[in-house]
Structure 1
Amino acid sequence: MIFYLLVKNKNFIENLRFATNGCQDTVVVGSMFSAMTKDNDFDYAKKAIKKLYEKLGNMTTQQEICANILKARGQTNEYNQHLKTKNI
C-alpha cells in the first residue's frame, strides 16, 4: 500500500489517497486510514494506527499481513525523516 499525501505547513495532511494491488482487507484499511487522517496532523495520523487496530478488532495473521497496517506507520516516520534530512 502506498499513500500519497498533500501536506500543508509541513505537518498538516490536507488530503490523503492510497494505491494498492492488495486484497479487500488492504482496501478497507487504506480507506479507513485515509478518512481518519485527512485534515489532521501527523501526530494524529500516528494515533490513527492504534485506533484502526481497535476498530478492526482481532484479526488473523493473514488479515494483518494483507491489511499491511504497519507499513502506514513506517511511511509517516519516513516522511518526518525526509523533512529532517531536507531541512524543510
Structure 2
Amino acid sequence: MNDNTVLGGVRATEGQGFKAPDVIGIGINGVDAVNELSKAQPTGFYGSLLPSPDIHGYKTSEMLYNWVTKGVEPPKFTAVTDVVVDYPR
C-alpha cells in the first residue's frame, strides 16, 4: 500500500491506544514517508520502499507487451530492488 494508506492505518491504531513498538507499518512510495520518519519520536510507521519507475515501469510494460503480442505470460512473482527509507531506531 502507498505511504498515505499505511499512515492512515498507523493513525487508527494510535487512536485505539496502540503504542509505536506494537505497530509495524511499511509503505510504498518513499516521498510521503519523509515527514513521518523525521519526527522526534518514532511512530508505528517503520519505513517505505521507493521503487524506480524507470526500471520497474519499463520491465512491467515489457512483460505486458510480450504477453499481449507473443503470448508469453509474465511470472506470477517478480522480485524487484527498491530503495528502503526508514527511521534509525
Larger Rg: 2
Could you state the TM-score of these two structures normalised by the residue count of structure 2? 0.28
Q: Greater helix share, 1 or 2?
A: 1
TM-score by length of 1: 0.28
